[in-house]
Amino acid sequence: MATSQYCTFHLGSLLLGIDVQQVQEVVRPTDTTRVPLAPPVIRGLINLRGHLVTAIDLRRQLGLTDPPPADPPMNLIVRTAGEPVSLLVDAIGDVLEVDSGVFEPPPETLRGPARDLVRGAYKLPGRLLLTLDHDRAVAVATDPPPA
């Protein structure tokens, strides 16, 4: 029986996960520097031990409402083909090992931008784990708009 490990995180009521192999680290909330003229999903840049890292607001990317200002987001630093990128999330969960046999395509009820960014779902006791295509989420946020 094949299994996969996912670093899980929360966005509102959603439980999402990214393959643990693609996660570099988790960083507590930190100041971001806004980038003029950047798309709204780019929250800004963070300083990660002297390296500037783009911070992408996953709530905006998935079409969710902004959280209360009192709840600063966590930085989930993921590896991409280029450089590390910070995905801003509400809270970090556990690393879960799931049976690949219970993986299903994205649920039909998933609509909007999330439909394009979620690879599929694992049925867990009492909840769904949605797996995020982080490469696509980063590409959609950072690619220039078509001319």
Q: Which residues of 47-78 are buried (b: 16+ CB within 10 A; e: fewer)?
A: ebeeeebbbbbbbbbbebeeeeeeeebbbbbb
Q: Give per-residue pLDDT as tens, 124-135.
A: 888 999 999 998
pLDDT tens digits in sequence order for the chain, 147 residues long: 689 999 999 998 999 999 999 999 999 999 999 999 999 899 999 999 999 999 999 999 988 888 777 789 999 999 988 789 999 999 999 999 999 888 999 878 877 888 889 999 999 888 999 999 998 888 866 665 544
Please state, in angstroms and rounded to a whole number, the distance separating the CA atoms of residues 52 and 55.
Answer: 9
What pLDDT is attached to residue 145? 52
pTM of structure: 0.89
**Per-domain residue ranges for the chain?**
3-142
CATH code, 3-142: 2.40.50.180
Query: What local confidence, expressed as pLDDT, does residue 91 receive?
Result: 95
Residue 81 is predicted with a pLDDT of: 80
